[in-house]
Each structure stands twice: as structure tokens, then as C-alpha cells.
Amino acid sequence: MTDISTQLIHHPYRPPEGFEAMAPGVHKASTVFFPNVQALRTQEWMDKSGYTYGLHGTPTTFTLEERIATLEGGRFCVLAPSGLSALTLVDMAFLRAGDQVLLPDNAYGPGKAFAVKELAQWGIAHAFYDPLNPADLAARIGPSTRLVWIEAPGSITLEFPDMPALVGVVRQANAGRERPVVTALDNTWGAGLAFNAFDLGVDVSMQALTKYPSGGADVLMGSVVTRDESLHRDVLLAHMRLGLGVGANDAELVLRGLGSMALRYAAQDTATRELAAWAQTQPGVECVLHPALPGSPGHDAWRRDARAAACLFSVVFQDHIPQARIDAFLDALQCFRLGWSWAGPISLCAPYDVAAIRTRTWPHRGGLVRFAVGLEAVADLKADLLQAWPNLGA
């Protein structure tokens, strides 16, 4: 079983004696009984070969943790109640007052907001670096830097960074350091399928399981995967102290989604490339952003380091097209629904004001729409875009 799609279906879950079924059981608990006082005193919650309290895990959540670690080629996994809480868990596990965190300028917006609005109040500094320029990262790493976030590709604008180069910059800065800088990747887009984050050198991989692993647009969850045991320990301690837990029914939904995940990823990848290439040829388009399109920022790094691409593409319209026209176009779409998130069965779209969310100059002046391709037939999606396109007045 070398292919991850097969591994995700054949997992080592052991069903109860005499009940050999495919689905893992849904185990729920706050209290877990101990057989005697000795066991209660000695059963260590961090030792995941046993159970201590529902918040520290049940057979269902342990099974999902094992699956996600396998998916990402890591060794340890911790689950959090949303992708965003997994992201902030990484911040809190590694940052202390006086530290600095570096984020790519195109990072997931709420993760930036956490640094700007929360971490700053706790005496933790932040700065944004240009993800396409490793020298810019090198220039910003200082003695107090403790954590460097990477996102591949960036949110909304989908620039694909040279991850080995960024990791190389951090490794160089770490020579002789007592508290090494940790690299953390928001791996939601790659989902463990497009590339192996650990082979590319990152220390911590965080994912919104809300997206691909669930695939149903009906559950919120996040994960933090590590290979290094002491990094895992830091994450696990912060996780316990923050009281983060996930419900067994939600864990079951994600486990159910995993079996079809590789197929869904591949199908959405194919459809997205077709629609992104098609969109490039339509009137009023300044450019289409998608890592697999030649000319899209970071395309060369994507081609070298990744073997697949997720369901997202963004269209930047020519700046003579007013936002009201773009809004009318979006309102006219029927298959593509307006809403946040992605990787579910229904295609989604949303307008973004990129200039307002970037600290650097964004080279385009026209409006941007991000599309998330679902599982509908690609001909229907194209027909939908075509019927709405005249609203742009392009």
C-alpha cells in the first residue's frame, strides 16, 4: 500500500471483537473510568496508548489523529475545533512575551488578525515578509524571532513560495541559536496530497480539516502535525492548557471524508485547471491566479515541489470594470454560490479587496474574485460563468 489514497482507506483501526465493519466507532466521553486508584494516579494523559479524560482523546479522535499524521507523512497529530484554532494553537505553543512571529504578507487573514490584534497585546511582535523573496525573510529574522509561518500558496492571491528556500533561510538563522526558530506551514491547500511538507523541510504542518479532509462543507476542525517529538510536546501541552477538544461526531464526519479525499482532490484539480485556463481567455480579465498556470506567481516553485493543485483560482479583472459590475456578475451566478470556505461539493465564489488586506503594494488595481470549484460537472460550471459574464460589461 504505497499510495496515500489506499492508505487512507485501509487504516489500522481495530473494531470490537466480532464486529468487523468498515467504519470506526463513534466513542463519546468526558469521564473515562479507571480500574483502581493506582491506575488513576499513574495513567499519563500525554501517553496516547491509554485514555484519561474525553478532552485528551477518545478512540475516535485518536484514530483520526493517526490518519491525519499518516496523510501528511508526519508522526504526531493534535486536533483542534477549527482550522483557525489549530493555527492559533501553533502560535500559543511556541510564542512567549518578547518573541516575534513572521508571517507571509499573503497569509490567511484571520491568522494575521490574531497576530495584530491578540499576540501584540501579549507582548509578542509580528512582521510580514514577502513570500516570493527569501532574502526579505532573511532580512526580517532577528534575535527575538521564534516562529515563521509559511503558506503555500498564499490565501486569495495564490502565489506559490519557494518553500525549501524559505526553510533554508530559517536553518541558516538557526545556526548557533539556543531557541531555534520554528517553521510552521498552513498546509490546508496542499492537504497532504499536493506535496509532503516535512520532506520540504517545515517543522509543523497545520491544516483546516474543514476543507479537503471533511469535504462536506458541514464540519469545522483543524490539525497540527509534527515529526519532531519535542515540538509535538509543546503543541500538546498548549492544547491541553487551552482546553481544546473536538466532538466525536465531527471526528467521524472527517474520518468518513478521508476515504474519498484523494479522488475529490484530483477531480477538483482537473476541473479547476480547465476553468482557470478558460477564464484567461475571457473579456475583461487582467490575469488569472493559479499556481499551475504558467506565469502565475510562483509557478516554477509549484512545478518543482508539488504534484497537484487544489480547487482554487482567482480572477483579477481589468481596472476599468467597476466593482458594481463585478458584484452583478457574482449575483447572476447560479452554480457558484456566494460564501466562504472551499473544498466542498458546491462551487463557491467571493470578491476580495486585496489592496486593503496587504501591507505591500499589490500590483493590480482591478477587482479580484476567488473561485472555489466544487464537484459539479465542469461543463455546467463553465456554462454558469458564461451566462453571468455579460454582467461585467467587458
Contact 392, 325 (CB under 8 A): yes
DSSP string, 125-194: EEEEE-TT-HHHHHHH--TTEEEEEEESS-TTT-PPP-HHHHHHHHHHHHTT-SSPPEEEEE-TTTTTTS
Residues forming contacts to ligand PLP in the complex (CB under 6 A) are 82-84, 87, 108, 155, 186, 188, 208, 210-211, 220, 222, 341
Distance of alpha carbon 121 from alpha carbon 129, whole angstroms: 21
Contact 183, 204 (CB under 8 A): yes
Residue among 83 and 134 whose Cβ is closer to ligand PLP: 83
Closest separation in Å from C-beta 132 to ligand PLP: 17
Residue among 81 and 393 whose Cβ is closer to ligand PLP: 81
Please give the C-alpha separations between residue 382 and each of 140, 352, 379, in angstroms, as whole numbers: 44, 21, 5
Closest separation in Å from C-beta 81 to ligand PLP: 8
Residue among 27 and 211 whose Cβ is closer to ligand PLP: 211
Closest separation in Å from C-beta 108 to ligand PLP: 4
Distance of alpha carbon 74 from alpha carbon 385, whole angstroms: 40
Closest separation in Å from C-beta 281 to ligand PLP: 28
Closest separation in Å from C-beta 141 to ligand PLP: 23
Residue among 173 and 183 whose Cβ is closer to ligand PLP: 183
Closest separation in Å from C-beta 15 to ligand PLP: 29
Residue sitting closest to ligand PLP (CB): 83
Residue among 83 and 257 whose Cβ is closer to ligand PLP: 83
Burial class (CB in 10 A: 0-12, 13-18, 19+), 235: buried
Closest separation in Å from C-beta 187 to ligand PLP: 8
Please give the C-alpha separations between residue 207 and each of 88, 174, 362, in angstroms, as whole numbers: 12, 25, 27
Residue among 24 and 344 whose Cβ is closer to ligand PLP: 344
Closest separation in Å from C-beta 107 to ligand PLP: 8
> Which is nearest to 232 in space by CA: 198, 189, 257?
198
C-alpha dihedral sign at 51, 212, 342, 83: positive
Residue among 149 and 336 whose Cβ is closer to ligand PLP: 149
Backbone angles phi, psi at 278, to 5 degrees: -65, -45
Contact 141, 102 (CB under 8 A): yes
Distance of alpha carbon 388 from alpha carbon 209, whole angstroms: 32
Residue among 159 and 186 whose Cβ is closer to ligand PLP: 186
Q: What's the chain's length in residues?
A: 394
